[in-house]
Structure 1
């Protein structure tokens, strides 16, 4: 009852001036939660100083956000995971120094980047597109640091193998594409999907608020309390794209893509950092030891009480680990400047 009185008092104090915007906000939350989610991302991009830009190349358009300018530290290119978007990285960018040049791109077909029926969304196909993006905005004028999570980690690792001269170092966060020796909850789902000839629903492509909540439980060890309206909004935002997500999913679990990272590890010569949540139920943490065995010089950081959604669950820790690794590698190459 006290909360109800607080709301009444707010309207009385606000009077006619604020009543309309407040009502508009409440209406958007109750009736159009998807609009509120888009406004949320827009607000945080502005708050963190990120600007959205488009890069056109041969009729194909990439959408990306960036902050800062190329400087003493290498540029950081960030590749998000399956069915996500560039704003996935906002939680991590928040804890990175503002002078760093950071570029977050929508992966092929995702969010604001061009989607075509004829495009190749296999890991190799996405690698070619990301290289096209890097070339278009001249990101490869000097070696950059690449960060990729989940599907973006698979793409990032294969990118490093195919274009070794373009990277100075790399961070892979819970990357797909590894034959991890221990099965996960998601591996069991995948087996059920294969046995049903993919007639069952895909856990990473929710169609209801309940399925969205199940996806969060699968991807996160930390239990976030998410209001039903927000869950509905998240579903509403994704629903128009679910057919596309199904197409991409079938590509990345196909024989050509499923273990692409592992098949290219021997070609990677850039200094590598691996960050993994110990409680990952999607891609088992045992994949880190597989990478470390094949690339003994890589640095492995395992995070306690953390699942697959590392950038959401441990954003501050992730940002600090990435920055430490970049500075360590730069100092090892002879750049001894101490400022970060």
Structure 2
């Protein structure tokens, strides 16, 4: 277990569009892997897999603006389009133009818009491999409006509730795990501290704005990902109640992916619940 002060000491920061973007960078000459985290999460969620992955990758994990150790501006609407543009600026500043990606939930929506910017502007950026985790495009691949509304309401309600108190935060987090003890009390404390640092809880309440974007741009993002179908690997916690196996089956079919790799006794957060298995699988699938 790593404590918040030690975790913070591992971070670097950079100023982009007048906001501080905080990030992990293992700094090496190896192939680059950039990780796009879930809504309400941060780079800390990946602390268990960094040491294994950095043996084979230069691992870079930015805390999106509004999350983790990055700036948390007032009245920040968490626009997926803004996040993607900031990350384009970020990789330009780091002089990176070839890399693989790992994304989770909301992070895959950010990645999709990121790829759209690359294509639209014919940028000289090469994305090699794309690893998609739980929650990827679950709203975007829902065809029926009534189902969309159900997902919208459930997500909004849960994310608002996790800002109310530490006990509710743990309760709703645990509901999404394959095994309730997969995340320790100490880990929960750090996750809670990072969420609420600099009054970050208020930003979580703007989740409905990003959900609207996910509905509005779903067709565009799906078409963009289809262009990368031969580079995509899908890895899914099998016991995820937030985005179950029917969700990943839809994603697989829409993107015409031949196989999904599932993790047993694992819910929505494979990087925290099954870090060894996830790392091993990523490295096994790495070209």
Deviation at 1:285, TM superposition (A): 2.6
What does residue 245 of structure 1 align with? Answer: 204
Name stretches of at least 5 consecutive residues in structure 1 with no aligned partner.
1-36, 328-340
How many angstroms apart in 2 are the aligned matches of 1:315 and 1:91? 6
How many angstroms apart in 2 are the aligned matches of 1:119 and 1:203? 15
What does residue 117 of structure 2 align with? Answer: 162
Tell me: CA distance 1:116–1:43, structure 2 relative to 1, closer, same or farther (3 Å): closer
Which SS does the other structure have where 1:170 is aligned? strand
1:205 aligns with 2:205: no
1:96 aligns with one of 46, 50, 53: 53
Tell me: CA distance 1:232–1:169, structure 2 relative to 1, closer, same or farther (3 Å): closer
1:300 aligns with one of 256, 260, 265: 260
1:67 aligns with 2:26: yes
Superposition RMSD on alpha carbons, in Å? 3.4
How many angstroms apart in 1 are the aligned matches of 2:36 and 2:184? 28
Which SS does the other structure have where 1:257 is aligned? helix
Deviation at 1:258, TM superposition (A): 3.9
Cα pair 1:170 1:273 within 8 Å, conserved: yes
TM-score (norm 1): 0.69
How many angstroms apart in 2 are the aligned matches of 1:324 and 1:191? 37
Deviation at 1:75, TM superposition (A): 0.3
The ranges of structure 1 where at least 4 consecutive aligned residues each deviate by more than 6 angstroms after the TM superposition are 225-230
Cα pair 1:154 1:260 within 8 Å, conserved: no
How many angstroms apart in 1 are the aligned matches of 2:165 and 2:75? 29
1:216 aligns with 2:216: no
Structure number with the bigger relative contact order (C-alpha 8 A, sep ≥ 6) is: 2
TM-score (norm 2): 0.80
How many angstroms apart in 1 are the aligned matches of 2:187 and 2:46? 19
1:40 aligns with 2:10: no
The range that moved more, 308-317 or 203-212, is 203-212
Q: From the CA coordinates, give the structure whose radius of gyration is larger.
A: 1
Which SS does the other structure have where 2:162 is aligned? coil
1:148 aligns with one of 103, 116, 127: 103
Tell me: CA distance 1:95–1:227, structure 2 relative to 1, closer, same or farther (3 Å): closer
How many angstroms apart in 2 are the aligned matches of 1:76 and 1:229? 27
1:108 aligns with 2:65: yes
CA offset digits 1:172-222 (Å, max 9, x no partner): 11114433479xxx98585478xxxx7x67466242233123112222111
Which SS does the other structure have where 1:65 is aligned? strand
Aligned length, in residue pairs:
274
How many angstroms apart in 2 are the aligned matches of 1:130 and 1:307? 28
Tell me: CA distance 1:116–1:192, structure 2 relative to 1, closer, same or farther (3 Å): closer
Deviation at 1:68, TM superposition (A): 3.5
Which SS does the other structure have where 1:276 is aligned? strand
Cα pair 2:72 2:200 within 8 Å, conserved: no
